[in-house]
Structure 1
Amino acid sequence: MATSVTVKDVCPQEFIATYARFLKKTGRVQIPKWVDIAKTATYKELPPSNPDWIYYRIATLARKVYLRGGDGVDTYKKVFGQNRRNGVRPNAFAVANGGNIRYCLKQLANLKVVEEDTVKGGRIITATGRRDLDRIAKQIFDKKNKQ
């Protein structure tokens, strides 16, 4: 009998990596020209070392919207934020750049994975997005059980 597998049932790192590879392979995500020079936050000194970082950020946001819908860009700026190093002064928390997050959410909306919640605000997962993410989670689960 077939079991129902959701995103919650698989390892987050494996899911994000698999979904990022899927997004890159399909070619439906439009990558901006600034992706190779953009930093993910103002407190970072360098851009990400992984050239496919935008796919991983999109996959991470899809998973986060799946698990807890209704959050907006400001919430995700806090989620991806870190401590800013202030030299000899104490570290202080700083939020991530909202432009990257907003762009990733727009790409997910173009893919019909997420949509804006008109009642409460923020982003929620669509039925198509839930089906696609659960399908990828099922593939990961079956591959892991086969081994």
Structure 2
Amino acid sequence: MTTVYDVPPNHLIDAVAEELKSSGKIEPPEWAAFAKTGVNKEMPPVNPDWWFVRCASVLRRIYIDGPVGVSRLRSYYGGKHRRKTVTGSFAKGSGSVIREALQQLERAGYVKKMKAGRQLTPAGQSFMDNLSHQVKLEVQKSIPELERY
């Protein structure tokens, strides 16, 4: 049984993002082309598929940390906010982006709302585990010295 912990995160997130995009269950909102992902960012993301990547990353984060709320995810996706000559300090990520991603993942059936936050459904866990297994096989084919993954 292969889980999310057994594969490199970047490969898994790319695979989940592609699957979410091809399934049609997740659609970027109209404002996604113009939105920044946090107050600490100066420009919107360059990747045209950034919405699917963020949804995949949120899904992985819920798998690892769940149940988790919007506030903890905002802290995870935050970063250093530079303020000209003043020393930079930490700023949380965009709550609107995370909230909308969680709502879409709920409608897709991968996440459910609990009292303590949001948690993966059995369908969401099986979705992530199946993709983890596929990614593990691909990684082992492409890089044979990575036997430990």
| TM exceeding 0.5 | yes
- Rounded to whole Å, the distance in 2 between the matches of 1:141 and 1:97 is 32
What RMSD over aligned residues (CA atoms) do the two structures have, in Å?
Answer: 1.0
Cα deviation code 1:50-85 (max 9, x no counterpart): 011110000000000001112100001111010100
The counterpart of 2:121, out of the listed 122, 126, 132, is: 126
Gaps of 5+ in 1: none
Aligned to 1:70: 67
Aligned to 1:37: 34
Aligned to 2:138: 143
Runs of 4+ in structure 1 off by over 6 angstroms are none
Number of residue equivalences: 142
TM-score (norm 2): 0.92
Answer yes or no: is 1:115 the counterpart of 2:137: no
- Structure number with the higher strand fraction is 2
- Aligned-residue sequence identity (percent) comes to 34
Alpha-carbon shift at residue 140 of structure 1 (Å): 0.7
Gaps of 5+ in 2: 143-149
Aligned to 2:4: 7
